[in-house]
Amino acid sequence: MTEERRRFQRITFDADCEIRTDDFSYPVELIDISFQGALTSVIHPPLLNVGDAAELVIRLTSDIVICMPVVLRHKLGGYLGFEAQSMDIDSISHLRRLVELNLGNEELLERELEHLTGN
């Protein structure tokens, strides 16, 4: 049995989502999200290579948006796994609230934030 190495809980969440680069904007389906990144799926993967930078834009409501700078870390079939980079304060606040609501456990949230800050 393999040991689970993830330090961040993945939150299964459905929201309007797209990948943006300087060259294109492409809709993707959000599979799950964490403080460390996101897993998405697409019918026809955009022209991104592992290591490419992009921005994952997640619309929670018409006026609440998480803008997550990301790097593509893995690509398998229609699945794209992204690692989060530094986010603006509004986006990280919205992501924190999303994680908080979905974890339903203050202790887990605090542990997630400790891992995020490296403490």
What pLDDT, on the 0 to 100 scale, is given for residue 105? 59
8/18 Cα distance (integer angstroms): 22
Residue 34 Cα distances to 11, 58, 66, angstroms: 6, 13, 12
What pLDDT, on the 0 to 100 scale, is given for residue 1? 35
- The rounded mean pLDDT for the chain is 81
Q: Where residue 100 falls among pLDDT bands split at 50, 70, 90?
A: confident
Is the pLDDT at 88 greater than 60? The verdict is yes
Decide if 54 contacts 70 (C-beta within 8 A).
yes
- pTM score of the predicted model: 0.76
How confident is the model over 42-60, as pLDDT tens digits? 988 778 999 999 999 999 8
Full set of structural domains in the chain with CATH: 11-117 (2.40.10.220)
